[in-house]
């Protein structure tokens, strides 16, 4: 027993958690919400076979955006930036096309010490809950290096790997992904288009409806005259109005005018876009690409977020 107490504290702790052979760099929080911020704490429990760590390099997976390392006394931090594979919606309608892809910390961590390397990022709303994303990590030491870059293939678990890449599992956020989707904003000429959304459709239904806010910040009137959506054969601009006691829907043959300085909200029981000839049902939480065509502003590419059947406009949503 006295041999045990003579061991360095770090070694005892590691042994308690995972057994000496299994101790490897890992992320403190193993789950992250989709469409929400994530604070990553990379734990480095030991060096390379007894040799002190002098550098820790972490690769940022696709879809983890807006990454920033936390300054770390005694360590120099370098980041490598690069383009993302796609454009991601971010806070307040911003779009990110590039960002930090790799972080390198340089310093010295003796083998018998433990340390943590912290960065923050945002899990893009376009990633899928249930997926696992990996942060391949390379430890460079005074002698040798250790590349924690293995990724489990189908039928394997991370426990089958000798040098597993630190990973997190994505889970559905409670309301967060909705918030980001709702703040998608598009600008075209004098027009600002906010938060396009549509509703999930029951199986068999061939018709969907599109909603959004359109503001004309210019001095000339404009007109929504057409558009498209990736799953719909036809696109029409409609109005719902009361005719006696009956709610009636009609097509606006000349489109929908947006007067200078005015905001027009397309919403249930009012103006809306009719998506007809749907190739398949629309599913909650997916994103539908489309275009809007305006007389003056021209063609604008947008994305609809799909909300549940019967959803109503977000109340108390994003206000300026």
Q: What is the closest distance, in whole angstroms, from the C-beta atom of residue 29 to Cu ion in the complex? A: 45
CB of 280 closer than 8 Å to CB of 231: yes
Residue 2 has φ and ψ, to the nearest 5°, of -65, -25
User: Judged by CB, which is closer to Cu ion: 21, or 242?
Assistant: 242
CB of 66 closer than 8 Å to CB of 90: yes
Distances in whole angstroms, Cα of residue 135 to Cα of each of 85, 132, 138, 149: 17, 10, 10, 8
User: Judged by CB, which is closer to Cu ion: 9, or 249?
Assistant: 249
Q: What is the closest distance, in whole angstroms, from the C-beta atom of residue 18 to Cu ion in the complex? A: 58
Going by the DSSP 8-state scheme, the letter that residue 47 receives in this structure is -
Residue 158 has φ and ψ, to the nearest 5°, of -55, -25
Q: Kindly list the residues in this chain that would bind Cu ion in the complex (CB under 5 A).
A: 238, 249, 274
Q: What is the closest distance, in whole angstroms, from the C-beta atom of residue 236 to Cu ion in the complex? A: 7
Q: What is the closest distance, in whole angstroms, from the C-beta atom of residue 272 to Cu ion in the complex? A: 6
d(CA 185, CA 192): 7
Q: What is the closest distance, in whole angstroms, from the C-beta atom of residue 311 to Cu ion in the complex? A: 16
User: Judged by CB, which is closer to Cu ion: 207, or 284?
Assistant: 207
What length does the chain have? 320
Q: Alpha-carbon dihedral of residues 78, 82, 88, 91, nearest 10 degrees?
A: 30
Q: What is the closest distance, in whole angstroms, from the C-beta atom of residue 186 to Cu ion in the complex? A: 22
Sequence-distant (6+) residues with CB within 8 A of 296 are 189, 190, 220, 222, 223
User: Judged by CB, which is closer to Cu ion: 100, or 292?
Assistant: 292
Q: What is the closest distance, in whole angstroms, from the C-beta atom of residue 193 to Cu ion in the complex? A: 19
- Helices (H), ranges, the chain: 2-6, 9-18, 176-182
d(CA 32, CA 94): 21
Residue 165 has φ and ψ, to the nearest 5°, of -75, 135
Q: What is the closest distance, in whole angstroms, from the C-beta atom of residue 76 to Cu ion in the complex? A: 60
The string of DSSP letters for 107-151 reads EEE-TT--EEEEEEEEE-TTSPTT-EEE--EEEEESS-EEEE-B-
User: Judged by CB, which is closer to Cu ion: 13, or 249?
Assistant: 249
User: Judged by CB, which is closer to Cu ion: 11, or 274?
Assistant: 274
User: Judged by CB, which is closer to Cu ion: 247, or 249?
Assistant: 249
Q: Is 233 helix (H, G, I), strand (E, B) or coil?
A: coil
Going by the DSSP 8-state scheme, the letter that residue 237 receives in this structure is E
Q: What is the closest distance, in whole angstroms, from the C-beta atom of residue 251 to Cu ion in the complex? A: 8
Nearest to 207 by CA among 128, 303, 276, 266: 276
Residue least distant from Cu ion (Cβ): 238
User: Judged by CB, which is closer to Cu ion: 33, or 201?
Assistant: 201
Q: How far is CA 289 from the centre of its chain?
A: 16
User: Judged by CB, which is closer to Cu ion: 264, or 274?
Assistant: 274
């Amino acid at each position: 027993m006295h041999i045990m107490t003579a061991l360095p504290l770090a070694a005892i702790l590691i042994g308690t958690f995972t057994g000496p052979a299994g101790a490897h760099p890992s992320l403190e929080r193993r789950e992250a919400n989709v469409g929400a911020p994530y604070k990553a704490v990379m734990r480095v429990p030991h060096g390379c076979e007894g040799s002190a760590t002098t550098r820790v390099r972490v690769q940022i997976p696709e879809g983890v955006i807006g990454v920033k390392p936390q300054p770390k006394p005694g360590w120099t931090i370098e980041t490598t930036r690069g383009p993302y594979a796609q454009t991601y919606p971010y806070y307040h309608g911003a779009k990110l096309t590039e960002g930090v892809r790799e972080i390198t910390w340089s310093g010295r961590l003796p083998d018998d010490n433990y340390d943590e390397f912290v960065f923050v990022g945002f899990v893009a709303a376009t990633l899928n809950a249930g997926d696992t994303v990996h942060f391949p990590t390379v430890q460079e030491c005074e002698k040798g290096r250790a590349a924690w870059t293995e990724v489990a293939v189908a039928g394997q678990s991370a426990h089958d790997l000798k040098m597993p890449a630190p990973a997190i599992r994505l889970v559905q956020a409670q309301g967060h992904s909705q918030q980001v989707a709702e703040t998608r904003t598009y600008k075209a000429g004098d027009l600002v288009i906010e938060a396009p959304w549509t509703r999930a459709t029951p199986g068999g239904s061939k018709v969907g409806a599109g909603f959004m806010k359109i503001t004309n910040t210019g001095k000339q009137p404009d007109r929504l005259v057409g558009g498209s959506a990736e799953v719909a054969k036809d696109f029409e601009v409609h109005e719902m109005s009361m005719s006696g006691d009956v709610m009636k829907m009609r097509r606006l043959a000349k489109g929908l005018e947006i007067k200078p300085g005015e905001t027009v909200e397309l919403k249930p029981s009012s103006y809306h876009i009719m998506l007809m000839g749907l190739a398949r049902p629309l599913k909650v939480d997916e994103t539908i690409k489309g275009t809007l065509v305006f007389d003056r502003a021209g063609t604008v590419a947008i994305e609809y977020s799909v909300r549940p059947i019967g959803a109503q406009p977000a109340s108390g949503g994003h206000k300026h």
